[in-house]
Amino acid sequence: MVQSSSIDRKPHQNSVWKHIKRDKYLLLMLILPMAYYALFKYGPMYGLLMGFENYKIKKGIIGSDFVGFKHFAKFLSDDLFWRAFKNTIVLNVLNLIVCFPAPILLALMINEIQYIQMKKFVQSVSYMPYFISTVVVCSIAISFFSNRGIINNLISGLGFERINFFLEARWFRPIYIFTDLWQHVGWDSIIYLAALAGCDMEVYEAAHIDGAGRFQQIWYITLPYLIPTISIMLILAMGKLMDVSFEKILLLQTPSTYEVSDVIATMVYRRGIQNVEFSYSTAIGTFQSLVSTIFIISANAISSKLSETSLF
Amino acid sequence: MLKAKLSVSEKIGMAVIGIVLATMVFLCIFPFYHMLVVAISNGTAVIQGKVTIWPIGFSLESFKQLFRDPYVGYAYKNTLLYVFLGTIINLFLTTMCAYPLSRHNLIGKKYFMGIIVFTMLFSGGMIPTYIMVAITLNLKNTFWAVLLLNGMSTFNMIVMRTFFITTIPESLVEAAKIDGANDIKIFTRVVLPLAKPILATMFLFYAVAQWNRFFDYMLFLNDKKTYPLQLLIRAMVIEGNLGETAQKQSAANDLFVSETGIKYAVILITVLPIIMLYPFIQKYLVKGQMVGSLKG
Amino acid sequence: MAKKVLGLVLALVLSLGSICAIADGPKDTWLFDEPVTITYMRPETSNQPFPEDNAVLNWISDNLGVNIDLILVMSDYEDKCKTLIATGDMPDIMVVDREPVAVAMQGEGQFLKVSDYFDLMPNYLEAQKDNVNFKRLMTADGDAYYLLTSTFFRYTGATAPAVRMDMLAASGLGTPVTFDDVYALLKNLKEQDPNSFPVSSRWSYSRIFETWAYPMGSGFEMYYEPRESKWIYGSITEDFKEIVSYFHNMYVDGILDPDFSINESSNFKERYAAGSSSYHFENSSFLMNYNAILADSVGKEAYFDLTPVPTNKYGESRQIGWGKFNYDDAILVNGDAKNPEQIVKVIDWFYSPKALEITNWGIEGVSFRYTEDGKRELIPEYAEQFIGTSDPWRSFMGSMGLGQLGLAMYIDEGTQAYYLDDVSAAQYDYIANDKAYAEPIMAPAFTDDELVELAELRTEIEAIIAPALEGMVTGAVSIDTFDDMAAKVRNAGATRIEEIYNNAEARMAAN
């Protein structure tokens, strides 16, 4: 039936039909998921219009007055916005550098544990922090890092000055990233463990017989096996470089750390306290999405060049 | 147990791994242990900040406080129902989407993926989504609104698709085709049996997400008897959510059970059932390894 | 026990009665000829959860012919409100946060202009007649798009000074009269226990200014200054600068808790209950908790008691009280509702003398009864079943959905007397009799344009002023830069904000 799986650069009308016929069951499978996207994702997509209009509830999204790029111009000319923009990206890039490789390392380490019960134990324990909500994670962080918290008691016990972690800008990012790492590393490693579980064991045996050491096995077999998963995860992570959980920042920031802790989300939030500005926040959201799109498309292009893995 | 000969550098490596993992295990368990200790300790001691490692006094009052609310019972039942139905919908839609898109010569694959990834980046926002679900589809005050709206996660779908791409060689599919199997048959007979690890993972991911979901239920449900657990307890967990006024007005008397104690009891009670899920699906995640390492 | 069963049977009979009544058709007491169903959404706090199906609602449907379809929302209420308003899918009645929801969205035309219906609402107007802020909470044009809850009686605490009496006695200093006396006392408290930080605060750097600045003779951000009879942006004045150095000295001398701007409420309370903080200028209702715990761990002699509000350099003893009225909630009516008159009449009923009784005391013969001299009192058999819960009064109120956190719009907290201990009662008395605590003065009514401008100016200013003030307290920012900062804030909009406020104030006076 299938003569060649080579891709026709310019398929004839004819061959398109042939392909559709060939893939009819696969396309059939896609109907419900695509209906889901159409209804629940694309259906409400007209809401993006709000960013370009002076949204009035009575007039509705369709009927409100169009104002073009007014809201965009407003925040793009705001110094605070650019500070928040920079902070958002810096925080996320640092977070990516620390929190992206960690679950991979963890998965590899767990993979090296020889005792099955121990392996299961470590795994199930490592993902527990994921279940503590952000609010509680921050409250734990505050009590640990506060002036009279465990950490400062330790520092003072060692004869050093106590540190006001939350009132010094330079400590904000480390605390943010550390809590994020703690909360997510175990959970995120599950994806890699699942990928490893699909790995063909015979390869390992062959390698072992060939005399490859443990770490050589990791380097030459396990890691390459994970590359497609890692690439995809990285591309997706690039698409999130503009997102920050504002709840967490709000809980951890003090005015003393604004210069590094104020991100786009908190800026929008502080505006929203006084005012209900649907149009303005939609405009900022759209701008963030555009930037993310650029990131994700570039990452995808690089990845498909380097590892032949691509998202789309 | 396996006792492969290790070189010195490997022994050092293993020791480092051991230390790192032990530290991590401690960091992950301690907060839970601490919460448990606080929840069962005497409220006075908690408020004085004396409780860190060992419980002081013993009382289950924090837990009793929680279950005095008759709605907690309904909420548990509702959550179980929503998680069960929701996860089934999720697994079905995700698999239906991920498998075809993992086939490298599917016609229009790039377009499908583009359309899907676009929704990860752009969204219409809460207002039009609410209008679509509650008004256009008329799903107000029914849990189906929430289950359908969260029918699948694009992130999870992509994870699953990646798994299919890496673990199911195209040659296997081609071979089945030559044997005369159509795509449905290939999917059910060849692909699904190989997909156990990812199905287990997806089951876990979705069940956990369903378990933790509260915002959409808050938005779409109006009848207190239909609220899931998370909605009921969220307010108790978020300190300061009550705002200045309520703080002022919540006069006194909240003493011998400390606020913190109740908060931690609530967290433990809502988190433990879903954490228990992991060991059950874990065997699918370590099976391959087990065979290998035993033979190792 | 037998009495408890009797009570339950009685309640059952009553509720059965209500079902029969509806089957019987209209009663004389019905508000309308036909039964009416009204949807009513309000938040539910975790302090006082209550059933959707409760005795009060049953009484209302029985005696008024009004079925209230109650929607209770437990968390993230503001998001639900905003979404329902923005999608035009409002319930008939909703209780929302006055700020930001009601004020920011009243210009959108989604809410019923309730002031047009005031002639149908005699009870409401009667209940609000003493409210000095009534006009301030309308729009600049004199319209009202939301209603307020009213208070008949409430035990009111205050943000009040209190000190550990045992340590005050040990200091040999008398009860502090001025803020300088307070500082002397604080230094002494620190000497008595060098490991302690006598003063703590919570939530954010701003909290300590909000609680201390007004009594000290200035005010935090915008406030009404009675000395000058005008609105002032307090945080950049000379008086405020002195307050900032006062706190800075407290910080340097180890008096102010270094965690003052990051403490959560629970951390904050722990400090006082554990004895590591000893001077409390905060919510007075916390004191009895501290005292109970201190009695347990330190001894009976260690307890907090209220002291008079110290006098500032102008010789005033003043503090903003919590007020008789509640300005935090707004009651909205759906502007698209088909039957606005009916809805408004139902709301008005909630302010009637009968509603005051039902929605605060419950059902006569079940939860309360009349004494021989015509006063209401709780029936012990009913009230006693809540003793032993963590908050007996709130549990009682929750059992029927009573009071401000329940269904009441006109609030009478007389039921609290049953559960009140002598010490707290004395504290409430003390505050009620202290003339220092004044009714808060709300901002004047603004136009929509003014509101938008104010919001923008505030965002600008906050970014400059917040890091500066917090830094000056801890010493990260030199206090010498205060004047520069003040000038910058003036230029960034403080002057304009003052102008808007005082213009609006003048406009109100003219009307």
Closest CA to C455 of A10, A234, A271, B162: A271
| Domain harbouring C234, CATH code | 3.40.190.10
Same domain, A107 and A229: yes
pLDDT at residue C2 in the model: 52
**For chain A, what is the domain count?**
2
Instruction: Tell me the residue range of the domain where B164 lies.
Output: 70-238+273-295
Closest CA–CA distance from residue B76 to any residue of chain A (Å): 17
| Domain harbouring A272, CATH code | 1.10.3720.10
The answer to whether the CB of C293 falls within 8 A of the CB of B49 is: no
| Count of CA atoms in the C-beta half-sphere (13 A) of A268 | 24
pLDDT at residue C107 in the model: 83
Instruction: Tell me the residue range of the domain where C412 lies.
Output: 2-155+325-433
Sequence-ordered list of residues with C-beta below 8 angstroms from that of B255, at least 6 positions apart, any chain? B43, B44, B47, C289, C292, C293, C390
pLDDT at residue B242 in the model: 35
The answer to whether residue A312 is domain-embedded is no
Give me the residue label for tokens 């698409």.
Answer: A239
Q: Which of A162-176, B203-217, C258-272 has the lowest mean pLDDT?
A: C258-272
Q: C73 forms bridges with which residues in the sheet?
A: C43
Same domain, C345 and C493: no
The answer to whether the CB of C319 falls within 8 A of the CB of C438 is: yes
Same domain, C361 and C472: no
B134: DSSP letter: I
Higher-confidence residue of C466 and C45: namely: C466
Domain boundary among C433, C461, C485: C433
Q: Which of A279-283, C25-29, C143-147, C260-264 has the lowest mean pLDDT?
A: C25-29
Interface test with A, best of C459, C473, C485 (most A CBs within 10 A): C459
Same domain, A150 and A9: no
Could you tell me the pLDDT band of residue C266, with boundaries at 50, 70 and 90? confident
Interface test with A, best of B11, B139, B293, B294 (most A CBs within 10 A): B293
Same domain, C359 and C410: yes
- Residue A5 three-state SS: coil
Domain boundary among A25, A43, A68: A68
**Paired tokens of C460:** 């600008």
- Residue A220 three-state SS: helix
Q: How far is CA B58 from the centre of its chain?
A: 32
Closest CA–CA distance from residue C96 to any residue of chain A (Å): 14
Same domain, C76 and C149: yes
Same domain, C24 and C68: yes
pLDDT, tens digit, 9 for 90 and up, residues C196-214? 999 999 988 999 999 999 9
The answer to whether residue A185 is domain-embedded is yes
Average pLDDT over residues C42-55: 86
Whether the predicted pLDDT of C118 surpasses 90:
yes
d(CA B292, CA B213): 38
Same domain, C168 and C96: no
The answer to whether residue C429 is domain-embedded is yes
Whether the predicted pLDDT of C30 surpasses 80:
yes
The answer to whether residue B21 is domain-embedded is no
pLDDT at residue B5 in the model: 65
Same domain, A40 and A125: no
Average pLDDT over residues A118-139: 88
| Count of CA atoms in the C-beta half-sphere (13 A) of A290 | 8
Measured in Å, how far apart are chain B's first and last C-alpha atoms? 10
Interface test with A, best of C85, C101, C255, C262 (most A CBs within 10 A): C262
Instruction: Tell me the residue range of the domain where A184 lies.
Output: 77-306
Whether the predicted pLDDT of A34 surpasses 70:
yes
- Determine whether the interchain pair B251/C424 forms a contact, defined as Cβ–Cβ distance below 8 Å: yes
Q: Write phi, then psi, for C253 (nearest 5 degrees).
A: -80, 5
| Domain harbouring B200, CATH code | 1.10.3720.10
- Determine whether the interchain pair C470/A80 forms a contact, defined as Cβ–Cβ distance below 8 Å: no
The answer to whether residue C438 is domain-embedded is no
**Paired tokens of C420:** 């009140």
**ipTM associated with this complex:** 0.89
Kindly state whether B286 is in contact with chain A, defined as any CB-CB distance less than 8 angstroms. yes
Same domain, A286 and A137: yes
pLDDT at residue B3 in the model: 47
Whether the predicted pLDDT of A2 surpasses 70:
no
For chain B, list residues with pLDDT below 70: 1-5, 48-49, 238-258, 286-296
- Determine whether the interchain pair C474/A256 forms a contact, defined as Cβ–Cβ distance below 8 Å: yes
Same domain, C37 and C55: yes
Same domain, A61 and A154: no
The answer to whether residue B172 is domain-embedded is yes
Q: Which of A81-85, A264-268, C327-331 has the lowest mean pLDDT?
A: A264-268
The answer to whether residue A128 is domain-embedded is yes
Average pLDDT over residues C88-104: 91
Same domain, A121 and A254: yes
Same domain, C128 and C248: no
pLDDT at residue C152 in the model: 94
Buried b (16+ CB within 10 A) or exposed e, A103-134: bbebbbbbbbbeeeeebbebbbbbbbbbbbbb
The answer to whether residue C118 is domain-embedded is yes
Number of Cβ within a 10 Å radius of residue B286:
21
Q: Which of A47-51, B88-92, B286-290, C363-367 has the lowest mean pLDDT?
A: B286-290
Same domain, C459 and C315: yes
Helices marked H in C335-420 — which ranges? 340-349, 353-361, 380-383, 392-400
**For chain C, what is the domain count?**
2
Higher-confidence residue of A137 and C181: namely: C181
The answer to whether the CB of C92 falls within 8 A of the CB of C68 is: no
pLDDT at residue A275 in the model: 62
Buried b (16+ CB within 10 A) or exposed e, B104-119: ebbbebeebbebbbbe
The answer to whether residue C106 is domain-embedded is yes
Same domain, A199 and A293: yes
Same domain, A98 and A188: yes
Q: How far is CA A23 from the centre of its chain?
A: 33
Could you tell me the pLDDT band of residue A200, with boundaries at 50, 70 and 90? low
Closest CA–CA distance from residue A15 to any residue of chain C (Å): 47
Chain B residue numbers with beta carbons less than 8 Å from the beta carbon of A116 are 286, 290, 293
Q: Percentage of residues in chain C with pLDDT exceeding 70?
A: 95
Same domain, A21 and A128: no
Same domain, C298 and C330: no
The answer to whether residue B7 is domain-embedded is no
Same domain, C333 and C452: no
**Which 3-42 residues of chain B touch chain A by CB within 8 A?**
4, 6-7, 9-10, 13-14, 17, 20-21, 24-25, 27-29, 31-32
C491: DSSP letter: I
The answer to whether residue A311 is domain-embedded is no
Q: What is the DSSP string of C398-417?
A: HHHT-STTTT-SEEE-GGGG
pLDDT at residue A257 in the model: 94
pLDDT at residue A225 in the model: 85
- Considering the entire predicted model, what is its pTM? 0.89
Same domain, A152 and A216: yes
Chain A residue numbers with beta carbons less than 8 Å from the beta carbon of C85 are 57
Domain boundary among C372, C407, C433: C433
The answer to whether residue A225 is domain-embedded is yes
Domain boundary among A13, A36, A68: A68
Same domain, C163 and C311: yes
d(CA C485, CA B130): 45
The answer to whether residue B47 is domain-embedded is no
The answer to whether residue A256 is domain-embedded is yes
**For chain B, what is the domain count?**
1
Domain boundary among A45, A68, A91: A68
pLDDT at residue A4 in the model: 43
The answer to whether residue A147 is domain-embedded is yes
Q: Which of A25, A32, A125 sits opposite B184 (nearest CB)?
A: A25
Q: Percentage of residues in chain C with pLDDT exceeding 90?
A: 71
Domain boundary among C433, C465, C483: C433
Could you tell me the pLDDT band of residue A177, with boundaries at 50, 70 and 90? very high
Same domain, A92 and A213: yes
